[in-house]
Structure 1
Amino acid sequence: MASIRYATLLSTTLLLGSCTKEDEPMPAPVYLLDQRWILRELNGQTAPSSASELLLNSVDGSNRGKSFCNQYGGNYTLPGGSPELRFSEQFSTYATCAQQDQETLYLSLLPRVARYTIRERQLFLYNDTSAEPLLVFVAAE
């Protein structure tokens, strides 16, 4: 009987020990939510440093952040146990700046997001069809 319990404990330990935070095999909302994410790539192009940030609130399903020129926000849906992530249309304040075109692109890409992955403290957001991410963020310290 003790050998069966030991074998079960050993196999469970091996299974759990093979999962790492750096390369999640399944979505990990615990790393996604209530984390400030800083935009690093916008549609395949490097984004200016601190150009935009994103925060997904775990309590009420809202998202918010600072974009190139304005504060913005909306809602998101995150079905449990899947890599699916969807954003509503985003609202924003109305200031203008030299990077207005990049902000407009950023805010138009969020509602096109369909799924995500997290690897090595980076958040990759994809649409339904492309293998390349629309947006890439890095976790803020």
Structure 2
Amino acid sequence: MHRVLLPLLAIGLSGCVGTDPGHLTQTDWVLVELNGQAVPKLPHPATLHFEDGHVSGSNGCNRYHGTYAFDPAARSLHFGRVASTMMACVNGMQVERGFMAALATTDGYTLRADELTLDRAQVPMARFEVLSAP
């Protein structure tokens, strides 16, 4: 019995690493706090959208896209190369700089109900809430 059960258990658990906890990618996220400070209302709020290893959205001023990898068991999250448009805007540049810095240095995340936090060394950098439909 153990000879059959252990390999099946190992196969089942290996399928969990790297799989999506659902709520992370089936949700659009809007930035509400950056480095402990509330994010001001912007014409184009900073957002995250995860799908099939790709991340995209607005960084508060420009559109961006890139890649990500995560391990739900270890609560690790890393963003790969992220490219963005380069339009100048009066409002949002400070948020954009902080947002892009957070993506570049994220090594973990916390996901609770309708809240996502990007962390570096277990310190929260950016907090997101579920983006509700207009």
- TM-score per shorter chain, which class? 0.7 to 0.9
Per-residue Cα deviation, 1:36-66 (whole angstroms, up to 9, x for no partner):
0000001111012362000010x2x010001
Query: 2:15 is matched with which residue?
Result: none
Is 2:130 the counterpart of 1:139?
A: yes
Query: 1:101 is matched with which residue?
Result: 94
Query: 1:76 is matched with which residue?
Result: 68
- Computing the radius of gyration from Cα coordinates, the structure with the larger value is 1
Is 2:58 the counterpart of 1:53?
A: no
Task: Give the letter for the 2:104 counterpart.
Answer: P
Aligned residues: 111
Query: 2:21 is matched with which residue?
Result: 29
TM-score normalized by the length of structure 1: 0.71
Is 2:120 the counterpart of 1:120?
A: no
- Over aligned residue pairs, what C-alpha RMSD do you find? 1.9
CA distance in 2, matches of 1:37, 1:135: 11
Divergent runs of 4+, >6 A: none
Contact 2:55-2:65 within 8 A present in 1 as well: yes
Task: Give the letter for the 1:112 counterpart.
Answer: T
Task: Give the letter for the 1:135 counterpart.
Answer: A
CA distance in 2, matches of 1:49, 1:85: 27
Task: Give the letter for the 1:136 counterpart.
Answer: R
Contact 1:71-1:93 within 8 A present in 2 as well: yes
1:90 is paired with a residue of what secondary structure?
Answer: strand
Query: 2:8 is matched with which residue?
Result: none
Query: 2:33 is matched with which residue?
Result: 41
CA distance in 2, matches of 1:103, 1:135: 12
TM-score normalized by the length of structure 2: 0.75
CA distance in 1, matches of 2:28, 2:118: 15
Unaligned runs of 5+ in 1: 1-27
Among the aligned pairs, what percent are the same residue? Answer: 29
